[in-house]
Amino acid sequence: MNKELDMAKSAYFSINFGLSGCYMPDYAGGSQKFTSQEELANSIREELANFNLPKTLFSEAHIRRIWRTVQLRGSSRAHFDIYYEANVLSYRGLTKIEYQATQKEGE
C-alpha cells in the first residue's frame, strides 16, 4: 500500500465566477470538498464548460502544483484564479472548519 495515498488530505474550496475586480460575483458555487486531484480537475473542467470558457484555460489552474500544495500545507493556502477577458473563475481554498461552517449555513 502507498502510505502517501492513504494519508491524502481532502481539499476544500469556494467557487465563484464574475467580473474581475467586482465585490459580488455573478455566480457563487458554494463550497465543495475534493478527495482527489482528479475530482478537483473535473470540477474545473465542469465550471469552464458551464460558463462557455475555452477548455484550454484548464492549464492555468496548474492542477498538480495546487494539489501538491493542498497535500503539504492544506487547501487554505491553495487559491487560484482563471482569467478570461473581463471575467474570473476563482477557487478560494478553505480550511476544514470554514468548509463545515458553510455547509451548516446551507442547511
Q: What is the pLDDT of residues 21-45, one digit of tens each?
A: 876 677 788 899 999 999 999 999 9
Tens digits of residue pLDDT in 2-27: 444 445 799 999 999 998 887 667 77
Average pLDDT for 93-104: 92
The domain segmentation of the chain, as residue ranges, is 30-105
The structure's pTM equals 0.85
Name every residue whose Cβ is closer than 8 Å to that of residue 102 and which is 6 or more positions away in sequence.
14, 30, 31, 94
Cross-strand bridge partners of residue 87: 19, 84
Among all chains, which residue has been given the C-alpha cell 478560494? 92
Among all chains, which residue has been given the C-alpha cell 465563484? 16
Among all chains, which residue has been given the C-alpha cell 455547509? 103
Average pLDDT for 53-57: 96
- Helix intervals (H) in the chain: 3-6, 37-50, 63-73, 96-105
